[in-house]
Structure formats: C-alpha cells, structure tokens
Amino acid sequence: MKKLIISALFTFLTAGSYATNTNNDQINQAANQGNKSHKTHAKKHTTKKNTSATKSTGVPKLHSYSAYSVDANTNQIIINKNSDAVLPIASITKIMTAMVLLDSKANLDDYVEITSDDVDTLRNTFSRLKVGMQLRRRDLLLLALMSSENRAAHAIARTAYPGGLKEFINRMNAKAKSLGMTNTKFFDPTGLTVENKSTATDLAKMVKAAYQYDLIREDSTTKAADVMLSPRYTHRYVNSDALVRGDNLRIELSKTGFINEAGHCLVLYTLVGQRPVIMVFLNSQGKSGRFVDALAVKRYVENQH
C-alpha cells in the first residue's frame, strides 16, 4: 500500500478500489443512447438499399473533433479523424511533465514545498495544496497524473532541474522532438496555457513512450487517494478519468484534459482482449463525450475479430 506524507504530521493512503458509480452510469447511459440512435439511423437507410457504405467499416461516429487510435504493437491505424489538426491539449501535457521528471533522475523522496510561484494566476484554478505545504516529489507526481493537480505539476517542473522551470520546459520540447512529435510545442508543464498544442497522432507517440514508465502507468490508473490536508480534514482525490474508476475498459495508462479552448480531451493505453490499443480524443463535445468515444472504439475493435 502506497503511503504519501504531506508534512511531518500528515499521511495519505491510496484507495485503489474507490469508484464513482454515478459518473459511470452517466457514461453507460450516454453510450447506450448513442448506440440506439446509430442503430435507428442505420435501419432507416437499410430498408431501401443495402450499400457497401452501410455495412462496410462500421466506424463509430465520434463526439471528439479529433481522434486517433492505433495498435501499439503493429502500428495499425484503427481510427483516424482529423488526427493531424494542431489543437490545444490542456492537461494531457502532464504526461510529458511526468516523463521529463522521471528522466531527470531527481530524488522522488525529496520534499518539495508549494510556493506562490505554483499558484495559477492565468486561469485562477482552485487547488487544495496550499502555499507552504511540503510533499514528496513522488506524491506530487501521483496527484498531477491521477487528479490533474496543477500546483503539483508546476512544483515538479520548478524543482526538477537546476535551471528551474525554463530548463524543464526546454527538456519537454526536446523530449517531444526525440519522439518524432513534429507538430507539438510546450510552453508550460500544466496545460493551462492554450499555447501547449499537439496533434492526435503526436500524442499517440507520447502515450506509447509513457507506457514504458512503470510509475506513470501506476499513478495515472490509481482510482483514488485520501490526503490529510490538516489534522481535522482529509480530502479524497479521485482519478479525473471516470473510465479508470469503472470497469468498462482495461486501462493501462490514462490522462484527461480540459480548458475552454481545448474542450474535453482524453488519452488512453488500453487492452482490448489482449490487443494493446492507444486512443486519443481531442476537443470532445460534452464532458462525457470522450469517454463514450473510448467505449465506442473499444466495441469497434472487438467487432473487427
């Protein structure tokens, strides 16, 4: 059982079995409604003619503006929708932040203090990590990947290298270049800036690379964690991906993202049967649209066999 220490007095325990049934019910309901509407639509068109277009690919209609799915072993493309569109990626950024931290070999058990530099003044997002709190670097990584904690991600980037935040961002862009992410640029480690942009195809490369890091796989798929923020208050952080908290997909790596300009985003490394499948969804319609899309792609992969 993983233990995280907020300060000399406070501890935190992961709660791997925690799940939010309400969100999963909403996702399942939305997915079922999508299936019904697609089936009804198909019936209206197949009564008069049975064209190859009607029964050929069965490619799902997705809520996301940009989507890309690929077999992680064979590189066979499964879904390709506006996959080369350069778009803001919001907190999907934090996967690159995690890789660059782990590449730095910085001591994950060192304590890092949250400072005023870590406070988001761009969008004024809320954080329960107050200035002056001290957390181990590994615990900041967990909160950044699991629940997309912005101050945690910023503190990681601010302290990982002697050159500070500027050096960290330079290394994020160098890492992207080394992975062949030719249409990707990072300007901050959280994704709060609209200038962090990429494509679905580039992000699939990033997910495949991130899968090689055991700690990224573990932290991004942790369902929930209890954090003692004061002697009298413990807060339960939950995974920002409702699919991780449920059992509809076998997820090996996950990250969500959202800012107004980026819409709702999601990247996954999943196993469909025994087939490793990377999924990327950008600028999805509605908060649950990206999750519905993931389930639709899963069914599409299953039906290919």
The enclosing H or E element of 272 equals strand 263-272
Alpha carbon 229 to chain centroid, angstroms: 25
Fold of 3-19+64-303: Beta-lactamase (3.40.710)
Across 272-286, average pLDDT: 95
pLDDT at 14: 38
Residues 6+ apart with CB under 8 A from 117: 154, 158
pLDDT computed for residue 119 by the predictor: 98
* Cα radius of gyration (the chain): 20
**Domain ranges for the chain:** 3-19+64-303
Q: Give 147-191 pLDDT, tens digit per residue.
A: 999 999 999 999 999 999 999 999 999 999 999 999 999 999 999
- Mean pLDDT of the residues in the chain: 86
Per the structure block, which two tokens stand in for 62? 């997705």
Q: What is the largest CA-CA distance in the chain?
A: 72
* Statement: residue 217 has pLDDT above 70: yes
Global pTM value = 0.85
Which tokens belong to 90?
């919001």
**In angstroms, rounded to a whole number, what is the distance separating the alpha carbons of residues 215 and 225?**
16
Report yes or no: 149 and 250 within 8 Å, Cβ to Cβ: no
Q: Which residues are catalytic?
A: 91, 94, 148
Query: Are the beta carbons of 282 and 265 closer than 8 angstroms?
Result: yes
| pLDDT above 90 coverage of the chain, percent | 76
Neighbouring CB atoms inside 10 A of 291's CB total 30
